[in-house]
Structure 1
Amino acid sequence: MATAPPLRDVQCFAHVARHLGFSRAAAELGMSQPAVSQAVARLERQLGVALFERSSRAVRLTPAGAGLLPYADTLLETAAAFTAEAARLAAPPRSSIQLAYAPLVGALAARAARRLAGREPAIDVELRPLGWRAATEALARGEVPAALLSAPFPLGCTTGARFHVAVAHLAVPAGDPLAALPRVTPALLGRHKVLMPRVRPPGGMWARLAGTLRGAYQHQEVADDIDDYAALLDLVAAGIGLLPAPRLLATSIRRPDVRYVPFDAGDLRLTFGLAWPAGRVPAEVTTLVHAVQETLWTR
């Protein structure tokens, strides 16, 4: 045999072998039955072997046909992989962008990433969960073009797609008497410690809450910034302190050792937004801002 048989003929052979019939093979291939029969006959002539035993009632593989079928399947799979890889190499490279984000708003970051991955042309988003300080430093060093983080926003940055997250619950240990109350006010927390960050910028939610809890109240400062609220639930469960809980946390993370009690301490809310270095706005950042805004509008 001087040349390899055409793939189309091999494909017809494999389909007839799978169905043991020319009519069903032809229907699956979108060909006429005579065309499939001719392709198989042509392949048999080129190979010099009979692939099927034909009768008026049935079609059966010959021993040669049964022996060659696995090779035919491998050949067709390799050809399909070859075509797919060629198409991948021929396609223009996908754009990508890195986005740092606060863990609390990870669900929003993920939805924005899916939105960009599904558009045409697609944009891949590399998500990097970072705390406020780490995200700010990554922006300053140029490691990420944008970050989805909470106020106060870094100096020298422009912000967009701002939104608020209400802090309307208090996370308490499941066995604490506060867990049985319909709601909690600051007046009930005199003998409890409240988990807080050491850094509380003026005008921010934590500064307002600290002002409300002046006097006999105790603060348990746990870090410079509070970003990973989910991790702090371990401290709540251990009885180390109570945690003012954003609504996102209360609705997304349920634990048997923690209860979320409505917290009536005034208008407490965290402000989030997309921040990027001031100056010329790269096209990828503009696209990211639009994706976050669209995600907020449709959530």
Structure 2
Amino acid sequence: MLLMLREIHCFTRVADRLSFSAAAADLGMSQPAMSQAITRLERAVGVKLFDRTAREVRLTAEGKALLPYAEQMLESARAFTAEAARLARPTIHLAYPPLVGTLAARIVRRLAGRNPPIGVELTVAGRGAAAQALTDGQVSAAILATPAPARFVTAARFHVTVDHLAVPVGHRLASAQKVAAADLTGQVLLTPGTRPWTGLPGHARMVADDDFAAALDLVAAGAGLLPIPQLLVRAIRRDDVRFVPLDAGDLRITYALAWSKERVTPELMALVQAVQDALWTR
């Protein structure tokens, strides 16, 4: 049997209303057209779907058995249409570090609200992986900690303040009200990526690109201390790590949107604008 979505829709509506006239009104049809649609479906499936009298409409046993399948077909058709519409939209691929996930979400919402909308596929990636994906053309743009590789164009710079220190439970600084830069003398400072903490004493130890979660595991293991933004402090709960306010002056991480100048599209320019707008408004 060829799919008869219109007739199946009529079937489910009559089953819901138990009235041909009410179902016809719901779908903007005449009652004779509704009756003809049900008759065509009954002939196609080879069973009677409704018992009809002058006073009432009732589902037959066969109609009751087929109703869930009809509803499932209509839901699949709606999902098909929605997915086809999503795939037909222009789509841009954006890589970003977990630290700026809230910004990435705002960007997606802004581009989805455009007319026509632009879809965004998000990829969580540290600086090294994001830069490689950008080079390989796997993503259209990436939010990278600066300085970005010289081969990329950058715009929409913004700063994330680093104002806390992650220390292991039991460390002498774990109970401090606030840690000053001088308190870090002789300590091992974990450094996500390749950017040492400017102006802080202590010994730098590099960890995976922009991966603060992996760095916190090292903190808990006693491998070092980690300067960390309050953005992450609010989102992380660990029993083996303490977050202490850090007074280290203007300590921050600078990020920028980066892309390849060889792959500029209207969608990419819309993304640049969306990032700039998201940074200026909340």
How would you bin the TM-score normalised by the shorter chain?
Answer: 0.7 to 0.9
Gaps of 5+ in 1: 201-205
Q: 2:112 aligns with which of 99, 117, 133?
A: 117
RMSD, aligned α-carbons: 4.0
Which letter maps to 1:188? D
Structure 1 position 97, deviation (Å): 1.9
Which letter maps to 1:269? R
Structure 1 position 289, deviation (Å): 0.8
- Secondary structure of 1:179's aligned partner: coil
4+ aligned runs moved over 6 Å, structure 1: 6-10, 40-50
Contact 1:7 1:76 in 2 (8 A): no
**1:52 aligned onto 2:42:** no
The residue aligned with 1:178 is 173
Post-superposition CA distance 1:99-133 (Å, at most 9, x none):
22223223322331233234332323232333223
How far apart are the structure 2 equivalents of 1:191 and 1:45? 84
Which letter maps to 1:208? T
How far apart are the structure 2 equivalents of 1:48 and 1:134? 59
Contact 1:14 1:73 in 2 (8 A): no
How far apart are the structure 1 equivalents of 2:129 and 2:244? 31
- With over 3 angstroms needed to count, the CA separation of the structure-2 counterparts of 1:28 and 1:242, relative to structure 1, is same
The percentage of counterpart residues that share the same residue type is 46
- With over 3 angstroms needed to count, the CA separation of the structure-2 counterparts of 1:60 and 1:122, relative to structure 1, is closer
- Secondary structure of 1:263's aligned partner: strand
How far apart are the structure 2 equivalents of 1:88 and 1:235? 43
Structure 1 position 22, deviation (Å): 5.6
- Secondary structure of 1:208's aligned partner: coil
- Secondary structure of 2:268's aligned partner: helix
How far apart are the structure 2 equivalents of 1:60 and 1:144? 56
Contact 1:96 1:123 in 2 (8 A): yes
**1:101 aligned onto 2:96:** yes
How far apart are the structure 1 equivalents of 2:5 and 2:133? 53
How far apart are the structure 2 equivalents of 1:136 and 1:10? 51
Structure 1 position 60, deviation (Å): 4.5
Which range is displaced more, 268-277 or 70-79?
A: 70-79
Which letter maps to 1:276? W
Give TM-score scaled by structure 1 length. Answer: 0.73
- With over 3 angstroms needed to count, the CA separation of the structure-2 counterparts of 1:23 and 1:113, relative to structure 1, is same
Contact 2:20 2:35 in 1 (8 A): no
Post-superposition CA distance 1:129-151 (Å, at most 9, x none):
33223333333444433220111
How far apart are the structure 2 equivalents of 1:198 and 1:12? 60
**1:208 aligned onto 2:203:** no
Structure 1 position 68, deviation (Å): 4.0
Which letter maps to 2:250? D
Which range is displaced more, 131-140 or 77-86?
A: 77-86
- With over 3 angstroms needed to count, the CA separation of the structure-2 counterparts of 1:265 and 1:90, relative to structure 1, is closer
Give TM-score scaled by structure 2 length. Answer: 0.77
Post-superposition CA distance 1:221-275 (Å, at most 9, x none):
133x641112211111122111011222222222222121111111111111101
User: How do 1:141-156 and structure 2 match up within 5 A?
Assistant: 141-156=136-151
- Secondary structure of 1:182's aligned partner: coil
Q: 2:234 aligns with which of 240, 251, 263?
A: 251
